[in-house]
Chains A and B, each alone.
Chain A
Amino acid sequence: MVQANPYRAPATVRKLCQAIAAITTQPWHIMEVCGGQTHSIIKHGLDQLLPPEITLIHGPGCPVCVTSLSFMDRALAIAAQPEVIFCSFGDMLRVPGSQLDLLALKAQGADIRVVYSPLDALTLAQQNPNKQVVFFGVGFETTAPSSALAAYQAKQLQLKNFSLLIAHVRVPPVMQTLLDAPNQQVQGFLGAGHVCAIMGYHEYLPISKRYGIPIVVTGFEPVDILQGLYLCIKQLEAGHHCVENQYSRAVKEQGNTPAQALMQQVFQVVDRNWRGLGKIVDSGLAFRPDYAQWDAEKRFAVSTITTQEPLACRSGEVLQGLLKPAQCLEFATRCTPEHPLGATMVSSEGACAAYYRYRR
């Protein structure tokens, strides 16, 4: 039952809100980095429970939202090939490319399947030797290790009919990009708990130091988020800045080292275009040269497909926390989850979709 979850206990939530109110003496802008946290905040209405001085800024941590239009068009080009079984996580299916989305392509006869893990796609490849099976590797450091594992196994098996379209992205570079923006307002971060479960949090120490900003690695349940906020505000009020770990039940400082080693072996760090934010140096992962054989971009020669982002969508400003979804003129008028103008409206983790669903 919902109430049985101690991380959602209303009494604890109330106590934490009182504690936050008690230590807050001035306005603070705090960004939750991860889309899963945004979803939880809006779903449980946590922002409504905070003192008015606290403004939450919804960060760029929704992998569906930040995957560039070019990557969507590449995915669509590959999925349209008759010999291809295209495998993806569920919520990428509704993300619009420049002409259509994967759901519409599926309706036209393309073989597009929802999988829960890239290893399921690998199994499909073994079961369908006459098909080319492609997995769409999307997500932050949280999902990148499973893509790396699938590629590693494909190489061990010398599987010829399996490849991955890798659009994985990294969190620390985008946090720095946001902090470097001229009109940025973020004074503290709730770090993305599940990313840190893989990567640990040593990467955040230099960011906190350089920008003088508190970073609290935080989980996803209401009590986690409020505890994270409490720790962050406590630092801000005291004029401190350091990296703290609220989510210690899942995150260790060094992270999951075997997963990191595997990613290191399979991927290299590259520059990557983000939807709404543009090119961010060192923010992406791509295959190392000795994995080129399993790189779907190369196998299907789609890397030349590049598409400009539309101008009407202001998701970039939303992702930077400069605009609340409801302040966009297109919100809930021309832009809805059925017909999203931009990806922040597509995924349930996207800030616009969360506001549309819970706040109109």
Chain B
Amino acid sequence: MPDFKLNCPLPLQYQHIVMAHGGGGRLMQQLLSTVIRPAFINPILDTQQDSAVLDINGSKLAFTTDSYVIKPLFFAGGDIGKLAVCGTLNDLSMSGAKPLYLSCALIIEEGLAISDLQRIMASMQQAAQQAGVLLVTGDTKVVERGCGDGLYINTAGIGLIAEAVNISPARIQVGDHIIINSDLARHGMTIMLAREGITFDSNLQSDCADVSGLVQTLLVDGLDIHCMRDLTRGGLASGLIELSSTSHHAFDIEESALPIHADVQSACEILGFDPWYIANEGCFVLFVPATQTEQALKLLHQHPLGHQACVIGEVKQTHPQGLVTLQTAMGVSRVLDLLSGEQLPRIC
């Protein structure tokens, strides 16, 4: 055979981690399924939920962890401390758990102002107190200047799941209504504008909030929630696509039903972003049987974090790989797909 080199520049398999591996899209899914999950394979991890659900002497315990690496540390509507508490509480809530205890590990970069750290600790304490959870253990490390963005926080949390509660992608059924509690993409766009120094004549604030109280209200009232997902990294689209694929069902989403703040929409248009893929920190979807939609909406509307709640779509049919279809306002449909990595601002 003649010795020749194909000139095709790709397929390009990344030999090193790129930022897109952490973007909540397809590259991240690949990293999880080829490098990370295989190392620890077990049935609990395989459920791929926001929290692991553990059976300990007959009690159902939810257990989760998350790391918070956000620039800037303080932003409109919150700071890294509030985020680190609310984010983990929300992950616990999505399995139906009532959060009980949190841990907190700090990785502090040399040079961080102690007054900033105090503000962040106070904000963590306030968020924990409001949720009625205790921060009971922790760790503190300091790294050299240049080795961190001021402060990274890891929190882990445990909570108890009531006997009757059973929330998981496996329970998603044909006919379920998909309800969202709040408007989309406020957190991601607030951070983006702050980070890029884009000044915008708006009062845009992150939606960073602890939804565990709201979720408990729904469960205490006896709502049979089949599944929930908080719409953090990767936004609504990635959350729905993952659920559709793990549950093997096709979802139909109504574009005109999606609540999006006008300022968020404008900022997205300018930067060329889709709000459906932008991170939220107080926004979640829940799947309920259609017969319970009215009850769910009534309960949600009575809560400050649910007053914008609405039905955005339904579970159409079973589907081997899962499929999320968006019915556009124009009356046509299109497929929602995972992004490769992070959204990149467009040229023009």
Give A contacts to B, CB under 8 Å.
1-4, 8, 10, 13-14, 36, 42-46, 48-49, 63-64, 69, 89-94, 96-101, 103-104, 106-108, 114, 116, 138-140, 142-143, 194, 222, 307-308, 310-313, 334, 336-341, 347-349, 356-360
Contacts and interface: CB of A to CB of B under 8 A. Distances in A.
A45 B18 contact: no
B164 interface: no
Nearest to A62: B347
B330 A106 contact: no
A341 to B, nearest CB: 6
Task: Give the interface residue-count category, chain B.
Answer: 35 or more
Contacts of A2: 255-256, 258, 260, 265, 329
Contacts of A36: 346, 348
A341 B346 contact: no
Contact of A91 (B196, B335, B346): B346
Contacts of A336: 340
Contacts of A308: 7
B26 interface: yes
A43 B10 contact: no
A358 B347 contact: no
B12 A100 contact: yes
Given A101-B12, A313-B8, A349-B347, 4 more contacts: A94-B344, A98-B7, A143-B347, A358-B337
A94 B347 CA distance: 13
Given A99-B9, A310-B9, A348-B272, A358 B348 contact: no
A116 B196 contact: yes
Contacts of A138: 347
Given A104-B14, A310-B7, A339-B10, A63 B347 contact: yes
A234 to B, nearest CB: 22
Contacts, number: 145
B329 A94 contact: no
Given A13-B330, A45-B328, A96 B10 contact: yes
Contacts of A357: 335, 337
Contacts of B329: 2-3, 8, 10
Given A94-B344, A104-B14, A116-B198, A45 B332 contact: yes
8 contacts: A8-B329, A44-B330, A63-B347, A90-B346, A97-B9, A139-B348, A347-B346, A348-B346
B11 A339 contact: yes
Interface of B: 6-20, 26-27, 30, 196, 198, 255-256, 258-260, 262, 265, 272, 328-335, 337, 339-341, 344-348
Contacts of B9: 69, 96-99, 307, 310
B340 A114 contact: no
Nearest to B323: A360
Nearest to B258: A2
Contact of A89 (B11, B18, B259, B347): B347
Which of B19, B27, B348 has the most A CB atoms < 10 Å from its CB?
Answer: B348
B348 A143 contact: yes
Contacts of B262: 1, 4
Contacts of A358: 334-335, 337
A101 B340 CA distance: 14
Given A106-B18, A308-B7, A1 B265 contact: yes
Nearest to B13: A339
B345 A91 contact: yes
A64 B13 CA distance: 21
A45 B330 contact: yes
A355 to B, nearest CB: 10
B260 A334 contact: no
A114 B256 contact: no
Nearest to B197: A120
Contact of B14 (A107, A347, A348): A107
Which of A63, A101, A337, A341 has the most B CB atoms < 10 Å from its CB?
Answer: A337
A92 B347 CA distance: 8
A311 B332 contact: no
Contacts of B19: 103, 106-107
B259 to A, nearest CB: 8
A341 B8 contact: yes
A48 B26 CA distance: 28
A358 B333 CA distance: 9
Contacts of A92: 347
A108 B16 CA distance: 7
Given A14-B331, A108-B16, A356-B337, A142 B256 contact: no
Given A89-B345, A104-B14, A222 B340 contact: no
A104 B20 CA distance: 10
Contacts of B339: 337
A142 B11 contact: no
A94 B6 CA distance: 21
A45 B7 CA distance: 36
A48 to B, nearest CB: 5
Contacts of B198: 116
Nearest to B10: A96
A73 B135 CA distance: 52
A26 to B, nearest CB: 24
B331 A359 contact: no
Contacts of B196: 116
Nearest to A69: B9
